[in-house]
């Protein structure tokens, strides 16, 4: 690798060739360091004994007579106790060895907290981060909503073993046989039982006449992966992070609109400390507080580093793997907005503490949260990596596909050779043809998982998609309660919002906005030159902002979208909704929709496709403005939905 000490931070070509990073500086050898190195070498060789825990966030709507409800979120024990009671009921599962359906009971913690921190039981509690969406409140109105109290619920699995099945019950016909279930069957059985009891008609105790369980965009699905109580080797965690950094575009395509974070800090003036990595200052998009992509964390780090003087850098150096003043590779990576630079910082880290410091105070906000790998204060260490990007869902098939994907990431990152792995992340993941299907294949995901995401991305038949089929099924279930069911308007609105949030064209449009905002990082000279050569002159200035090393002059001020208007006039949800409506107003038959899909999935050269886009808005370009045109126009001009 080249000597980076002579390269300037404003270089217009990436300082990180696609190869294995240099080894970090070595500390002097001591007996303690030798013992630690031997332990590390042994841990690197040992196979993983993977465990997992899943946290489900949802809302329990409780019907109140004569509109005596609050119509808002309430924090009370009855809602928690009701979910605990249902989870504690006998449930049906399929034995992993004999295939027979049998009844067993989950072990549910009946206390208010798992005081021992053993996580040996399922657990139910209130979650203060959950709320109703502003859009739902505006659409349904306070009068209707006073039919209900809404309980914010989080329920968590026990620690589940990926490779070892759980023994459940003995069989009457064969006393020598004990039924067992896999982690997947335990999750599937629990979710199916919950949704059947709360959301399906004709329950014996009429439970669903009084309660319904649903999710919204204020809820999330969080998956913890661990290696029993041993924790992960540092190299495994570094490889996991590199996979998620290099494959961010492919991984984004798996998720709903609101779970794709955008940070455009690479193209805003440096040194303006009001800029927040949780939002896109030009587009006016406020990101979810607990769903920041790894690209945003790196952008925040680079943005701050570029605006610092030597004194500030010295005070800020704890965020980097080690002192940036003594390591030119780290110093260069800290000043470049590219996935390669991001991975270089990760791969130069020598301890888990170094890795968590890279996330600074944003760990708990990140799509991949490392804070549970190290001890903080008096809290016990969970030794888990937490994945927080997925939207909340109670659909077992969707949950298990995501879990299988994550399990395979960690397995591959532990078993692969480091040099081959870094080459894969830096070269294969960066190819224009790299897409989600290739990532799933590389990770050797199950056929069920590959099939799930293939159906999620494509049309089953003309006019039908994976999400539209799911929403149609759920609305049929709601309709089975009859026309007088008070929950129907609520749940129809909930499912309409879910359909809108997962619509393929809208997800693709969101990813395009992220691409042209430099949310996926800046681009090297060769790609920029190809884009400029085939783009109209009016777009050259904007394209140049995506060049590696480009910095906005300090005198160039980009006003925040709320600076010329009442900040409370438009809610973040309303901004996102208007953006989605405007950007994705395209019919299924539109040829642009197909081109747009190719752009995002990587089946064509992303940058070349982007350079061919007409970035004019409707006023300048006539009646036929494509999704791509509108999305890109938003980067050039003030967002039209805030005008």
| pLDDT at 575 (0 to 100) | 46
Least confident range of 171-175, 345-349, 562-566: 562-566
Give the highest mean pLDDT range of 26-35, 259-268, 303-312. Answer: 259-268
Least confident range of 50-59, 339-348, 558-567: 558-567
DSSP letter for each residue of 467-530: HHHHHHHHHHHHHTT-TT-TTHHHHHHHHHHHHHHH-HHHHHHHHHHHHHTTTT--B-HHHHHH
| pLDDT at 68 (0 to 100) | 86
State pLDDT tens for residues 130-175. 999 999 999 999 999 999 999 999 999 999 999 999 999 987 778 7
- Between 382 and 19, the more confident residue is 382
- Please list the residues that pair with 368 across neighbouring strands: 387
Q: What are the structure tokens assigned to 371, written together?
A: 């804070």
Q: What is the pTM of this model?
A: 0.82
CB neighbour class for 395 (10 Å; exposed up to 12, middle 13-18, buried from 19): middle
| pLDDT at 160 (0 to 100) | 98
Going by pLDDT thresholds of 50, 70 and 90, the confidence category of residue 516 is confident
The whole-number average pLDDT for the span 489-516 is 91
- Between 359 and 459, the more confident residue is 359
| pLDDT at 38 (0 to 100) | 64
The whole-number average pLDDT for the span 184-211 is 95
| pLDDT at 312 (0 to 100) | 64
The whole-number average pLDDT for the span 457-465 is 68
Instruction: Check whether 358 has a pLDDT greater than 60.
Output: yes
Q: What are the structure tokens assigned to 165, written together?
A: 């099945």
| pLDDT at 25 (0 to 100) | 46
What pairing do the DSSP bridges indicate for beta strands 368-369 and 285-286? unpaired
The whole-number average pLDDT for the span 419-437 is 85
- Between 583 and 156, the more confident residue is 156
The whole-number average pLDDT for the span 5-30 is 44
| pLDDT at 195 (0 to 100) | 97
Rounded CA-CA distance 518/523 in Å is 8
Q: 266 and 518 in contact (C-beta within 8 Å)?
A: yes
Give the highest mean pLDDT range of 300-304, 372-376, 522-526. Answer: 522-526
Least confident range of 96-100, 187-191, 389-393: 96-100
Instruction: Check whether 613 has a pLDDT greater than 60.
Output: no
Give the highest mean pLDDT range of 213-227, 279-293, 302-316, 629-643. Answer: 213-227
Across the chain, mean pLDDT equals 77
Helix (H) or strand (E) holding 641: none
Query: How far apart, in Å, are the Cα atoms of 586 and each of 495, 509, 581, 630, 631?
Result: 21, 11, 9, 11, 12
Going by pLDDT thresholds of 50, 70 and 90, the confidence category of residue 398 is very high
| pLDDT at 269 (0 to 100) | 73
Helix (H) or strand (E) holding 262: none
Instruction: Check whether 252 has a pLDDT greater than 70.
Output: yes
Least confident range of 61-65, 283-287, 445-449: 283-287
Instruction: Check whether 5 has a pLDDT greater than 80.
Output: no
| pLDDT at 565 (0 to 100) | 37
Rounded CA-CA distance 387/370 in Å is 9
Give the highest mean pLDDT range of 276-290, 413-427, 459-473, 492-506. Answer: 492-506
Q: For tokens 């886009």, name the residue.
A: 613
Going by pLDDT thresholds of 50, 70 and 90, the confidence category of residue 35 is low
- Between 636 and 234, the more confident residue is 234
Rounded CA-CA distance 605/595 in Å is 11
- Between 463 and 393, the more confident residue is 393
Give the highest mean pLDDT range of 297-306, 335-344, 560-569. Answer: 335-344
Instruction: Check whether 343 has a pLDDT greater than 90.
Output: yes
What b/e string do you get for 190-217 counting C-beta neighbours within 10 Å, with b at 16 or more?
bbbbbbbbbbeeeeeeebbeebbbbbbb
The whole-number average pLDDT for the span 420-430 is 85
Instruction: Check whether 427 has a pLDDT greater than 70.
Output: yes
Q: What are the structure tokens assigned to 77, written together?
A: 């024990």
State pLDDT tens for residues 291-310. 889 999 898 888 877 776 56
Q: What are the contacts of 351-357 at 24+ separation with CB within 8 A?
A: 351/234, 352/231, 352/234, 352/237, 354/320, 354/321, 354/322, 355/234, 355/237, 355/238, 355/241, 355/321, 357/318, 357/319, 357/320, 357/321
The whole-number average pLDDT for the span 447-458 is 88
DSSP 8-class letter at 47: P
Angle ∠(273,279,282) on CA atoms, nearest 5: 85
- Between 45 and 346, the more confident residue is 346
Nearest C-alpha neighbor of 366 from the set 348, 393, 346, 396: 346
Collapse the DSSP code of 170 into the 3-class scheme (helix H, G, I; strand E, B; otherwise coil) and give the result: strand
Rounded CA-CA distance 570/328 in Å is 45
| pLDDT at 431 (0 to 100) | 83
Going by pLDDT thresholds of 50, 70 and 90, the confidence category of residue 461 is low
% of the chain exceeding 70 in pLDDT: 70
| pLDDT at 588 (0 to 100) | 32
Instruction: Check whether 524 has a pLDDT greater than 90.
Output: no
Helix (H) or strand (E) holding 384: strand 384-387
% of the chain exceeding 90 in pLDDT: 42
Instruction: Check whether 478 has a pLDDT greater than 50.
Output: yes
| pLDDT at 578 (0 to 100) | 47
Query: How far apart, in Å, are the Cα atoms of 363 and each of 148, 154, 209, 373, 455?
Result: 35, 20, 41, 11, 33
């Amino acid at each position: 690798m080249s000597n980076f000490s002579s390269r300037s931070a404003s270089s217009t070509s990436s300082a990180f060739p696609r190869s294995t990073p240099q080894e970090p500086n070595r500390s002097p050898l001591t007996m303690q360091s030798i013992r630690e190195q031997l332990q590390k070498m042994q841990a690197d060789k040992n196979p993983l004994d993977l465990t997992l825990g899943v946290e489900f966030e949802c809302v329990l709507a409780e019907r109140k007579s004569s509109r005596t409800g609050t119509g808002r979120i309430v924090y009370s024990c009855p809602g928690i106790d009701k979910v605990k009671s249902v989870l504690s009921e006998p449930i049906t599962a399929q034995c992993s060895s004999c295939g027979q359906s049998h009844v067993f009971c989950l072990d549910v913690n009946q206390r208010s907290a798992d005081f021992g921190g053993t996580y040996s039981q399922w657990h139910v509690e209130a979650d203060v981060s959950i709320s109703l969406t502003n859009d739902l409140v505006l659409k349904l109105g306070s009068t209707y909503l006073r039919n209900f109290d809404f309980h914010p619920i989080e329920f968590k699995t026990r620690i589940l073993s990926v490779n070892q099945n759980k023994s459940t019950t003995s069989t009457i016909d064969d006393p020598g046989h004990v039924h067992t279930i896999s982690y997947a069957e335990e999750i599937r059985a629990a979710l199916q039982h919950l949704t059947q009891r709360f959301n399906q008609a004709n329950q014996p105790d009429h439970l669903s006449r009084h309660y319904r369980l649903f999710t919204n965009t204020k809820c999330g699905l969080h998956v913890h992966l661990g290696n029993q109580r041993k924790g992960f080797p540092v190299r495994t965690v570094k490889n996991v992070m590199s996979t998620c950094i290099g494959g961010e575009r492919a991984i984004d395509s798996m998720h709903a609109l609101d779970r794709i974070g955008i940070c455009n800090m690479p193209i805003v003036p440096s040194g303006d400390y009001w800029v927040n990595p949780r939002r896109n200052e030009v587009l006016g998009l406020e990101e979810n507080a607990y769903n920041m992509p790894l690209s945003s964390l790196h952008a925040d780090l680079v943005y701050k580093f570029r605006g610092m003087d030597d004194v500030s850098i010295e005070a800020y150096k704890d965020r980097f793997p080690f002192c940036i003043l003594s390591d030119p590779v780290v110093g260069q990576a800290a000043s470049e907005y590219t996935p390669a630079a991001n991975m270089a910082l990760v791969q130069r880290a020598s301890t888990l503490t170094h890795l968590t410091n890279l996330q600074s105070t944003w760990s708990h906000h990140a799509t991949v949260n490392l804070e549970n790998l190290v001890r903080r204060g008096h809290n016990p260490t969970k030794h888990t990596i937490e994945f927080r990007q997925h939207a909340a869902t109670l659909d077992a098939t969707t949950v298990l596909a995501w879990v299988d994907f994550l399990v395979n990431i960690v397995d591959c990152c532990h078993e692969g050779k480091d040099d081959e792995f870094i080459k894969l992340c830096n070269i294969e993941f960066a190819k224009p043809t790299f897409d989600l299907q290739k990532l799933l294949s590389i990770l050797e995901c199950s056929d069920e998982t590959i099939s799930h995401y293939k159906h999620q991305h494509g049309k089953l038949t003309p006019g039908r998609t994976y999400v539209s089929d799911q929403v149609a099924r759920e609305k049929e279930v709601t309709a089975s309660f009859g026309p007088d069911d008070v929950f129907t308007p609520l749940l129809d609105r909930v499912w309409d919002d879910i359909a809108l949030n997962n619509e393929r064209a809208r997800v693709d449009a969101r990813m395009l906005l992220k691409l042209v905002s430099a949310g996926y990082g800046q681009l090297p000279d060769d790609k920029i030159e190809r884009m400029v050569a085939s783009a109209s002159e009016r777009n050259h200035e904007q394209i140049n902002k995506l060049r590696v090393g480009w910095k906005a002059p300090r005198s160039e001020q980009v006003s925040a979208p709320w600076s010329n208007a009442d900040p409370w006039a438009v809610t973040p949800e309303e901004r996102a909704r208007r953006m989605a409506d405007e950007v994705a107003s395209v019919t299924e038959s539109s040829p642009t929709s197909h081109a747009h899909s190719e752009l995002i999935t990587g089946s064509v050269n992303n940058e070349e496709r982007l350079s061919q886009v007409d970035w004019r808005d409707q006023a300048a370009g006539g009646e036929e403005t494509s999704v791509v045109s509108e999305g890109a126009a938003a980067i050039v001009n003030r967002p039209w939905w805030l005008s």
